Structure 1
Amino acid sequence: MGQGTDHPPPASSPQGSRLRCRAHGKMAAWLAASGGSLAITTYTSGKLILVSSFAGKIGYRLRPLARPMGLATRDGQLAVATRTQLLQFRNTLEQRPTPPRHGSDAVFTLDQGFPTGKLNAHDLAFGNRGLYFANTRFNCIARATPKKRFLCVWQPPFLEAIVPQDCCHLNGIGLRDGRPAMATAFCETAQPGGWREENRFTQGVLLDVQESRVVARGLCMPHSPRWHNDCWWLCDSGHGTLVRFDAATTERREVCSLPGFTRGLCLIDKYALVGLSKIRRKHVLDAPPVRERHARLFAGVALVDTSTGRQLGSLEFLTGGREVFEVVFLPGVRRPNVIVN
């Protein structure tokens, strides 16, 4: 992944080592030119990572959260799915064209919290009717509500009841025009915990939510469906690939192969930011296909030119982090801060 710069933070992960990052290739230059910044979740390390770029160097802030996974941003808001609640932050600092060298041009403070209990909430997205999330424990797409732990808005057609038993490991949701439109799951089963027993390396599916049907099969532990530039993009995670899917023809094409378990996806113009995770042999999320494809796996975020499929750069976790769940781009915010307590 080349050489780069690093900026070690004074914070430790639950794994015992400090989370340290390094930028490679064009990542630092691209992020500086974009006029924005990144927010990344790593749940095993219990961190929300805020990444900025100035003077050719990457800088980052770490904020501790309980098992953070899904992330979503819209109109000065930032939402995070944690172990037992959905947290919705709002930027309370007026943005300035040029932030002070060591200051912040956006400060996100807690605006609202939705207690959920242990739903194993994965993907998160702002839509026309509020905050939607993948309720993995109950096998459905749900909406956040202050009155209940969740409001189910859709479940896969092969399920008949809302049960708290994570049958198919529904994990990813993609919105189009503000409505849930696609979902990813590891398999088609209504058996409690069935995804752990099925061959999840070949039975992953992409589901059309509005038509309530499976539109793609044969995926390997897929995640992160996203609508961008008139087509769908997703991570075929167990193969370590970024895939483009044409809903009209059901054709899917591999855009690029990356050295990690791909999960977490954000698209900006022709660029894709793809989360990469290391995997452990014999772990429930072990993925032999990507291990066989790459001699060494990385954890961090890859920058990909989707027009060519080339990886242009990356942000690599050197220590203290083995996985990424989500990455989002914060447009117009060059040095963000999040107040978590």
Structure 2
Amino acid sequence: MVGQPAGKQTNTNLAVSRGLGDWLRTNRTSLAFTSYQTGQLFLVGVAPNGTVSFNQQNFTRAMGVCYQPGRLYLGTSHQVWRLENMLRPGEMANKSFDMALIPRNAQTTGDVDIHEVGTDASGRVLFVNTKYSCLATLDLNHSFRPIWKPNFISKLAPEDRCHLNGMALDGGKPRFVTAVSRSDIVTGWRERRHEGGVLIEVESDRIVTDQLSMPHSPRIYGDHVLVLDSARGQISRIDPASGKRTGITFCPGFLRGMSIHNGHALVTVSKPRNGTFAGLALDAALADRDAEAWCGVLVVNLASGDIVEWIKLEGFITELFDVAAMPNVVCPMSLGPDTLEIRSTITFDPEILQLG
């Protein structure tokens, strides 16, 4: 059951592929994914009895998610949350969870339409500030500190000009970004949804390719860049030197988030929203396959292009955003910022007592 206003149908059923639990165990990972539509963070792992575990908490307009060992960053409607694992080595929560993430900090940015979130080599939080068409970091006094913008954006303005949305980090530095267009007018990207999506090299401002359709989530994988060619339903491989695009696989839905783990891509798919996503190439691709769009998480073998495992959501939730692998975590849980549990969950370092 998803928490929503009374009077609305809120039931969402979650189904998983038969081998998902084994895949998570074999690949020594759990995962986190978000739904901005319903404002939720989902954590997925394997319970002690071998079943797939789902833990969900409410975070308003949950978007970009980034996992670091023992820590999770989450971008929401107007804040960046930092969640910390409160368990010590060997401890379990509720006899089932080997990680218990609790919100410890929320940096307020205002509504800047935070998309993807990451950290640089020093641990500094970076995020895609879509509303202001730039990459940014947190600032103690201001809503954000801009660190880069595409050279075709003439000024920082709250106009979502090009729909900058994805960021690939390499060695702790932003190396590539994606945007839906090169527009430099207010919401100009909305007229460029079908073509003209760009992958940009940050350091040089070079347009690697402009042959994408509503791209998202660039990720460096070997000598190439993987990109979600979202409006075509494709995971694509881009040669950063030539810009050549090669399709890896078709996914039945509008792609947004991607995380790479052990030769696999974890991706979120959503059902196309009326209006913004109407008339895209994805519609024809689904029709050609006599298929309906999914809402869920797919696990794709990057060597073969096969979808090997999946999570499917049916019911009220129809759109997801980001996904992150959580290596070496078996069964994670979290606490929400507005729950009774968080008020009574108090921890401290027992070694402090030695200072008295």
Relative to the length of structure 2, the TM-score reads 0.88
Q: Distance in 1 between matches of 2:214 and 2:172?
A: 25
- Indicate the residue corresponding to 1:7 in structure 2: none
Structure 1 residue aligned with 2:259, among 266, 273, 294? 266
8 Å Cα contact 2:93-2:100 kept in structure 1: no
Q: Which one of 282, 285, 301 corresponds to residue 290 of structure 1?
A: 282
User: Would you say the 8 A contact 1:156–1:213 is kept in 2?
Assistant: no
Corresponding residue for residue 5 of structure 1? none
Q: Where do 5+ consecutive residues of structure 1 fail to align?
A: 1-9
SS of 1:190's equivalent?
Answer: coil
Q: Which residue of 2 aligns with 1:4?
A: none
The separation in 1 between residues aligned to 2:321 and 2:136, in whole angstroms, is: 19
Shift in Å, 1:70: 0.4
Q: Confirm whether residue 325 of structure 1 aligns to residue 321 of structure 2.
A: yes
**What secondary structure does 2:185 align onto?**
coil
**Runs of at least 5 residues in structure 2 that lack an aligned partner in the other structure:** 338-356
Structure 1 residue 157: deviation in Å?
1.1
Contact 1:278/1:322, CA 8 A, preserved across alignment: yes
Which of 2, 16, 34 pairs up with 2:27?
A: 34
Which of 63, 88, 107 in structure 2 is aligned with 1:69?
63
Change (3 A) 1:80 1:64: same
Q: CA 1:114–1:245 in structure 2 vs 1: closer, same or farther (change >3 Å)?
A: same
Q: State the 1:100 CA deviation.
A: 7.2
Q: Name the structure 2 match of 1:92.
A: 86
The 2-side partners of 1:91 and 1:238 are apart by: 37
Counting aligned pairs with the same residue, the percent is 29
Q: Which residue of 2 aligns with 1:59?
A: 53
Larger Rg: 2
Residue 159 of structure 2 corresponds to residue 175 of structure 1: no
Number of residue equivalences: 329
Equivalent runs, 1:16-165 vs 2, <5 Å: 16-54=9-47, 57-96=51-90, 102-129=95-122, 130-165=124-159
- 2:81 and 2:32 mapped to 1: Cα distance? 14
Of 205, 218, 222, the residue aligned with 1:212 is: 205
Aligned CA distance change for structure 1 residues 205 and 81 (closer, same or farther; 3 Å): same
Q: Deviations over 1:101-145 (max 9, x none)?
A: 843211112232210001011011111241111100000011122
Higher mean displacement: 289-298 or 228-237: 228-237
Structure 1 residues 236 and 287, CA, compared in 2 at 3 Å: closer, same or farther?
Answer: farther
Q: Report the AA paired with residue 245 of structure 2.
A: R
CA contact (8 A) 1:12 1:19 kept: no
What SS is found at the alignment partner of 1:171? strand
Q: Give the residue type in structure 2 aligned to 1:159.
A: I
How high is the TM-score relative to the length of structure 1? 0.91
3-state SS of paired residue (2:283): helix
C-alpha deviation, 1:53, in angstroms: 2.4
Contact kept? 1:167, 1:192, Cα under 8 Å: yes
CA distance, structure 2, for counterparts of residue 293 and residue 95 of structure 1: 48
